[in-house]
């Protein structure tokens, strides 16, 4: 099952993101066989990173929750909110 994980950073936490980015990228790469796509969201004003979107092919909601809990960004307290949604890919086919 595909899961879209949408994370919103806490205000004024860009340095936390930057400090933990290498560990976060290593963590994402450890899921390479399950990773459909990932990247930061950007602010309208200055294109500063302000959140994350990750799409993973996981067995169930519990696995998605475990992924989120162990993300170095989450462990560093970066996120104001995290949403996990089941997703059905339709296009491109």
pLDDT of residue 82: 98
pLDDT of residue 42: 97
**Residues contacting residue 8 through CB under 8 Å, at least 6 positions apart:** 41, 50, 51, 79, 80, 81, 82
pLDDT in tens, the chain (93 residues): 999 999 999 999 999 999 999 999 999 999 999 999 999 999 999 999 999 999 999 999 999 999 999 999 999 999 999 999 999 999 998
With 0.85 as the threshold, say if the pTM is over it.
Answer: yes
Question: How many CB atoms sit inside 10 A of residue 67's CB?
Answer: 20
């Amino acid at each position: 099952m595909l899961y879209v994980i949408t994370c919103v950073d806490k205000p004024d936490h860009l340095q936390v993101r930057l400090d933990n980015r290498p560990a976060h990228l290593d963590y994402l790469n450890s899921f390479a066989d399950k990773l459909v796509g990932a990247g930061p969201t950007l602010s309208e004003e200055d294109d500063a990173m302000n959140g994350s979107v990750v799409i993973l092919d996981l067995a169930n909601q519990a696995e998605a929750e475990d992924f989120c809990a162990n993300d170095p960004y989450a462990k560093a307290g970066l996120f104001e909110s995290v949403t996990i949604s089941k997703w059905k890919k339709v296009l491109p086919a």
